[in-house]
Chains A and B, each alone.
Chain A
């Protein structure tokens, strides 16, 4: 399968995502510049981490108007799998492809550490190779990952099982201490109602090889490979 890795001015995890897809998993991968208007026939799109457009105004606020986002929106609407990692998640929120918004971390610090997330849902293209309840040790690195949505939106996310990843402690409990940024309900990642668009603050692409301290993130990339192979997601061309 082929991954499209979107590159915004200021993206800095694009090569990590490319490396995970191309060299660790041996899949086809291509960088797509943010001004491009074609996803080059990719089967899945990754919006990588970084500081697109310098995070000016708000994180993701300018990136959402990049020409490539029209293609990403079309791709997502047709059921194509889209993964937003960290800044990519923030862009998906600003673009309205996922509900809610990000606030400054509760600590007002840039949090850079390994966290544990629990896989809450396995019926998304980026979590289907996981076991339900599986705990993944993955790094975070962000200043604005404090997920916020109005209470009724959060209620809907929970009742529609759209919370895919949650910050938990070593026992699997979503405690305030295990929550690195103040996100409502310890939400680390979520999906849209169609379940094909997933955003998360932790960086799975930085945890794809044991030499990096953890290979727990690889399962998200393996999931989408499996998902595309099974034809469980729409093929968008």
Chain B
């Protein structure tokens, strides 16, 4: 089972890297990009039989290690046939 964990800084936390990326985009002419928030992305290959079990395990991993609850929050997607757009 594949779980994807997206970790981002909480909205109340200033993101110096995201701000720098936004400024670089503005320099390149991407004026329509109003703000950038940078985060982390994890793919977990989990030995689990149900989506619920995989999600529970991924959430536990995120709580314990992948995210720091003081500054970050996370979102999890779980599935066997997650369709991807890759380029």
Instruction: List residues of A whose CB falls within 8 A of some B CB.
Output: 57-58, 61, 65, 93-94, 99-101, 103-108, 146, 148-150, 182
Tell me the bound Cα distance from A148 to B69 in angstroms. 12
Tell me the bound Cα distance from A182 to B14 in angstroms. 10
Tell me the bound Cα distance from A104 to B16 in angstroms. 6
Residue in contact with B16 in the complex, picked from A58, A61, A65, A108, CB distance below 8 Å: A108
B17 and A104 contacting across the interface, CB-CB below 8 Å: yes
A149 and B70 contacting across the interface, CB-CB below 8 Å: yes
Instruction: Fill in one digit per residue for B55-78: 1 if any A CB lies within 8 Å of its CB, else 0.
Output: 000000000011010110000000
Instruction: List residues of B whose CB falls within 8 A of some A CB.
Output: 9, 12-17, 20, 65-66, 68, 70-71
A101 and B68 contacting across the interface, CB-CB below 8 Å: yes
Residue in contact with B65 in the complex, picked from A61, A93, A100, A104, CB distance below 8 Å: A61
Seed contacts A103-B13, A103-B16, A108-B20; 5 additional CB < 8 Å A-B pairs:
A61-B68, A103-B14, A106-B16, A148-B70, A148-B71
- B65 cross-chain contacts in A, Cβ below 8 A: 57, 61, 65
- B14 cross-chain contacts in A, Cβ below 8 A: 103, 106, 148, 182
A182 and B16 contacting across the interface, CB-CB below 8 Å: yes
Tell me the bound Cα distance from A182 to B71 in angstroms. 15
Tell me the bound Cα distance from A149 to B15 in angstroms. 14
Of chain A, the residue at the smallest CB distance from B12 is A150
Tell me the smallest distance from the CB of A145 to a CB of chain B, in Å: 12
Tell me the bound Cα distance from A58 to B14 in angstroms. 16
Tell me the bound Cα distance from A57 to B66 in angstroms. 7
Tell me the bound Cα distance from A134 to B15 in angstroms. 33
11 pairs across A/B with beta carbons < 8 Å? A100-B70, A101-B68, A103-B13, A103-B14, A103-B71, A104-B16, A107-B16, A148-B70, A148-B71, A150-B70, A182-B16
Tell me the smallest distance from the CB of A190 to a CB of chain B, in Å: 14
Of chain B, the residue at the smallest CB distance from A146 is B16
Of chain B, the residue at the smallest CB distance from A101 is B70
Tell me the bound Cα distance from A103 to B16 in angstroms. 8
- B68 cross-chain contacts in A, Cβ below 8 A: 58, 61, 94, 101
Tell me the smallest distance from the CB of A16 to a CB of chain B, in Å: 28
A101 and B71 contacting across the interface, CB-CB below 8 Å: yes
Residue in contact with B13 in the complex, picked from A93, A105, A108, A148, CB distance below 8 Å: A148
Tell me the bound Cα distance from A108 to B12 in angstroms. 18
Tell me the bound Cα distance from A57 to B14 in angstroms. 19
- B20 cross-chain contacts in A, Cβ below 8 A: 108
- Knowing A57-B65, A61-B65 touch, does A108 contact B70 (C-beta < 8 A)? no
